[in-house]
Amino acid sequence: MPREPGLSFKTLLVILLVTTIAQTPSALMLVSMSKMFDAITRAKVEILATQEASEAEVSFVNRVKNDLELNKRVLILIGPYKRLYGEDFSYQLRKHLVFVEQSQTTEELFLILFDKTFHDRLNQESVNGILAHEMWHIFTMASGKVRPGQREEIDADDFAVRYVAPDVLIALYRTYEGDNSMREAKISNLLRQRQTAYDADGPSTLLRTGS
């Protein structure tokens, strides 16, 4: 998609560093930021992160990539995007707490952007549910099979429940989904998924985890 006008890369970097240092004035944080900046620069990504994805998150995404036979790079970025960038943030995260986008520098790289405040509220199973959902979006974007709107979201949920119990996603949508009609459609679908799983395999199916 065409890049929307926004702040320059250097300006965003200064804002990000100043904000981070003000919140956590430690040499350790500066070293971590430096390493992260180097890694993201090498990846040719124009959006910075203030927190690295955990090994568990990276491992889970790689597992889902293998299941999808997806031959693309996926980078998880975590940062205070909504607070720092607001309306100037060119990746549309201003409307979302987590968002998937294809890098604007290379077609081989996809980004999963987590707003840090949102990310830090979640347990690992909730993160896995979101990652699985977003990986489906990456798969359809990479294969040119996106079905915009409610159908695409339902398909992503149908895929995600291979890795987490429907109740994990239901709880997330009840708390965070701001679109009432979308929330109702997603939860109704997940309740059907839960009942179908229960009918087929009994209550043990509802205990599915991402492990």
Q: How far is CA 179 from CA 111, 131, 161, 174, in A?
A: 23, 20, 21, 10
> Is it the case that residue 127 has pLDDT exceeding 70?
yes
∠42-47-114 over CA atoms, to 5°? 115
Indicate the average pLDDT of the chain: 75
Q: Whole-model pTM above 0.75?
A: no
CA distance linking residue 178 with residue 61, whole number of Å: 26
Over 90: is that where the pLDDT of 137 sits?
yes
From CA 38, how far away is CA 76, in angstroms rounded? 15
The predicted-structure confidence for 149-166, as pLDDT tens digits, reads as follows 889 999 999 999 999 999
Q: Which pLDDT belongs to residue 202?
A: 60
What phi, psi does 49 have (nearest 5°)?
-125, 155
| pLDDT at position 37 | 46
Q: Distance (Å, rounded) from C-alpha 114 to C-alpha 12?
A: 17
- How far is residue 175 from each of residues 33, 59, 121, 137, measured CA to CA in Å? 31, 27, 12, 21
97: phi then psi, degrees, rounded to nearest 5: -90, -20
pLDDT digits (tens, 9 = 90+) for 70-95: 999 998 988 876 554 444 444 343 45
Highest mean predicted confidence (pLDDT) among 32-36, 83-87, 130-134, 142-146: 130-134
